Every structure is written in structure tokens, then in C-alpha cells.
Chains A and B, each alone.
Chain A
Amino acid sequence: AQKITQTQPGMFVQEKEAVTLDCTYDTSDPSYGLFWYKQPSSGEMIFLIYQGSYDQQNATEGRYSLNFQKARKSANLVISASQLGDSAMYFCAMWREYNFNKFYFGSGTKLNVKP
């Protein structure tokens, strides 16, 4: 079965420091993608970053980077220079190419940024 695991239910980080949110996945498909979403307290899901299984380089989007270790099946999100507005729930998700674009979500990590 396809599965996404986020082992950190909650985390604290000091403002301006970097933080890593863990995500491991389980699939035997050759072609898949990994996403990270942010969900503020208002509830909307915001797309942050994407990594394809065939991508050679780690994805980066501004202060977000994805540490993709294919052999370990991990796709950790790194947020550099944390800001108070980064306080939110963060979800890791996996997409499989051969299954109607279904997405599989982890249970989420609640990040709190302290001033």
C-alpha cells in the first residue's frame, strides 16, 4: 500500500532559524511526485514545493527546499530563516503517475515559530 509518514506531530523553531520537517514515503512505482503543502489556521491548503522521482536535483522555491533522498524514500522540507507567518500545519503528499492522479497525504506537522 502507498503510504506517507510524518513522524513529527508538532515542532517549535526560533524565528530566523532553519527547520526541517520529515517525510518518508512508501511506493514501488517508478514514477511519482512528492508535494509539500502549508495549511494556516484559516484552513486553505497552499502548495509550497514539488519534487519528481526522476529529478536529479533537489527542488527549491525561495526559502523552501526539499531534501530528496530517493534510496531512503525520504522527502524532507527545509524552511530557512523561519518567519512568524510560517506557523501552520504542513502536509507531505505523494502523487502516483498511473493512478488517476490520486494523492496520498501524511498526517501533518504543526510548526510553531517563536519570536
Chain B
Amino acid sequence: DVKVTQSSRYLVKRTGEKVFLECVQDMDHENMFWYRQDPGLGLRLIYFSYDVKMKEKGDIPEGYSVSREKKERFSLILESASTNQTSMYLCASTPGASGVESQFFGPGTRLTVL
């Protein structure tokens, strides 16, 4: 069964901490995505990656960075967490650039920054 996993379901951090959210997919997918989900705003794209070491900014990249050293792993980094980054974070992947495929989502990480 194909899977996207995220390192934590719930995370509580303090303002100013460096936070790492990890996402791993076992489907050999080319593309990986990080979204944040807030009530009334839907899912907003933070960053995506279409290949190892390649990344593109999404709609709301400020305050975030990403890393993709291996094809199966895509990490979201909050360099200095702030309270307005309290949110649900969803990772997703798609097979590649040709054709259309639904995104496969991880279970999400609910991050609270105090």
C-alpha cells in the first residue's frame, strides 16, 4: 500500500525554536509538496520540489525553508518559529511531470507554537 508519512501528528514548540517537519514517501514520486491548512483558507502551498535538491517557492514561503537530499524525503524547516505559524501542515506527493495524478497526502502535523 502506497504511503506518505509525516514524523509527528502533534508538535508543540516555543517561539524562536528551530522546527523540523519530516515527510517520507515510498512511491518513488518525483514531486513533493508542503502545505499549511488554516480554517477558512484551505490549503496554501509553502514549497514544492520536483527533484532531489530542487525546490520552488509556493504561495507563502516566508518564514520557511525546505530540504530534499533524497528522493523519498522532503523536510520543512521553520528557522525561528513564531505563533502565527501555528497550523496544520500537510505533505503530499505526485508521481511526475507527465500526465495527471491525484496528490497523495500524509496524515498531517498539527503544530502549536507557544
Which A residues contact B (CB, under 8 angstroms)?
Answer: 4, 6, 9, 33, 35, 37, 42-45, 47, 50, 52, 91, 93, 95, 97, 100-103, 105-108
Contact A101 B108 (CB under 8 A): no
**Cβ-based interface call for B81 (8 A):** no
Given contacts A35-B102, A45-B90, A50-B100, contact A103 B45 (CB under 8 A): yes
Which residue of the partner chain B has the closest CB to A32?
Answer: B100
Contact B42 A97 (CB under 8 A): no
Contact A103 B103 (CB under 8 A): yes
Hey, which chain A residues are within 8 Å of B101, CB to CB? 101
Contact B103 A100 (CB under 8 A): no
Hey, which chain B residues are within 8 Å of A6, CB to CB? 42
**Cβ-based interface call for B105 (8 A):** yes
B50 to chain A, nearest CB (A): 5
Interface on chain B toward A: helix, strand, loop, or mixed SS?
Answer: strand
Give 3 nearest A-B pairs by CB, closest first.
Answer: A45-B105, A105-B43, A47-B102
A43 to B102, CA, bound (A): 17
How many residue pairs bridge A and B at CB < 8 Å? 61
Which residue of the partner chain A has the closest CB to B105?
Answer: A45
Quick one: which of B35, B88, B97, B105 contacts A101, CB cutoff 8 A? Answer: B97
A97 to B98, CA, bound (A): 8
A72 to chain B, nearest CB (A): 21
Q: Would you give 26 A-B contacts (Cβ < 8 Å), ordered by A?
A: A9-B40, A33-B100, A43-B9, A43-B88, A43-B108, A44-B105, A44-B106, A44-B107, A45-B90, A50-B100, A91-B42, A91-B43, A93-B103, A100-B31, A100-B48, A100-B56, A101-B50, A101-B96, A101-B97, A101-B101, A102-B48, A103-B45, A103-B103, A105-B44, A107-B40, A107-B41
A61 to B75, CA, bound (A): 34
Which residue of the partner chain A has the closest CB to B58?
Answer: A102
Hey, which chain A residues are within 8 Å of B9, CB to CB? 43
Hey, which chain A residues are within 8 Å of B25, CB to CB? none
A102 to B34, CA, bound (A): 11
**Cβ-based interface call for B33 (8 A):** yes
A73 to B97, CA, bound (A): 25
